[in-house]
Amino acid sequence: MNGPGSNMATWEGRSVVIKCARFATPSIGVTYKMLDSIEAIIAAFERNDGHFELFEISPETFREYMRDTRSTGASAGRVGIVAK
């Protein structure tokens, strides 16, 4: 991990961000700014048995499938969301 309170990490020599979604949450969000500074997104989706399925997504693929967040708060206009 690249620092306390951060979900950015160096994995296999690459800059990544780790995003987790609980069982009832079907999507993950990444800020547009972060997409410009990482090489991959590691998405962890919780299964109903408590274990996680891991996916690696390139920033390019994330951008291709993302939609803007529906938030009207601080993340509005700053975060893209991708569904599993």
pLDDT tens digit sequence for 5-24? 889 999 999 999 999 999 99
Distance of CA 58 to the CA centre of its chain: 10
Question: What angle (nearest 5°) sits at the alpha carbon of residue 50, between those of residues 48 and 51?
Answer: 105
Give the pair of three-digit tokens for residue 31. 């800020």
Backbone φ and ψ for 66, nearest 5 degrees, come out as -75, 160
HSE-CB at 28 with a 13 A cutoff on CA atoms is 24
Between CA 17 and CA 11 the distance in angstroms is: 9
User: Is the Cβ–Cβ distance between 41 and 16 less than 8 Å?
Assistant: yes
pTM for the predicted model, two decimal places = 0.89
Per-residue confidence (pLDDT) for residue 6, from 0 to 100: 84
